[in-house]
Amino acid sequence: MKIYFVSSNKHKYIEFRRILKDVIDINWINADYLEPQSDNLIDVAITSAKWFSHYIEEPFFLEDAGLFIDSLGGFPGVYSSYVFKRLGNNGVLKLLDGVENRSARFVSVIALHIGGRITIFEGVVEGTISEEIRGGGWGFDPIFIPNESNGKTYGELGENKDLFSHRGRSATKLRDFIGRLVA
């Protein structure tokens, strides 16, 4: 089945393509869009999908994601993209300098628009923020350690990131949903 994916983020596209390849043929629409102001990823994803549904007739999905750090009251959360651009990984590590509680979670919310309806798929991964930058990847990959990865950051996991990641979880739910539709 062919579905459009709307995002200006090439890394997200590469990960979704990898996770969904057996079931969904993704057509990437490399477009930026103005995200509504909200402290909730689901609201952002739904509002963005409604807005895009005026322009795309075919099935499409988009994703809103965020890193929520407990000792910072959930910051940067919905502001993750902005904070990454402004502070980067070094800035986040500085905010946590000397902080003992380094627990955090990564959340991915997919909004799928198909047949005039929006369906949400959420993926959540608990983890911690590393003491230093480790590995490659993109965004916060080098500083986020999912709980089950033997201490490796997303950036050190390479393609195995998908087995642990917030996106791996939300995309697997999307894949199963589409799999049932086409069965």
**Token digits of residue 9:** 């983020």
57 or 94: CB nearest ligand IMP: 94
19 binds ligand IMP (CB under 6 A): no
- Tokens representing 26 are 């993704």
Q: Does 141 bind ligand IMP (CB under 6 A)?
A: yes
Q: Quote the least distance from Cβ 182 to ligand IMP, whole Å.
A: 27
Active site residue 32: no
* 123 is a contact residue toward ligand IMP (CB under 6 A): no
Q: Which of 22, 32, 43, 64 is catalytic?
A: 64
Name the residue among 134, 136, 126, 135 with its Cα closest to residue 101. 126
Closest residue to ligand IMP, judged by C-beta, is: 139
Of 137, 151, 165, nearest to 102 by C-alpha is 151
Q: Where are the beta strands (DSSP E) in 8-150?
A: 25-30, 60-69, 76-77, 103-114, 117-129, 144-146
User: Which of residues 113, 152, 167, 175 is near ligand IMP by CB under 6 A?
Assistant: 167
State yes or no: residue 172 binds ligand IMP (CB under 6 A): no
CA–CA distance from 74 to each of 13, 21, 39, 66, 70 (Å)?
Answer: 26, 33, 10, 10, 5
Residue 3 or 162: which CB sits closer to ligand IMP? 162
Active site residues: 64
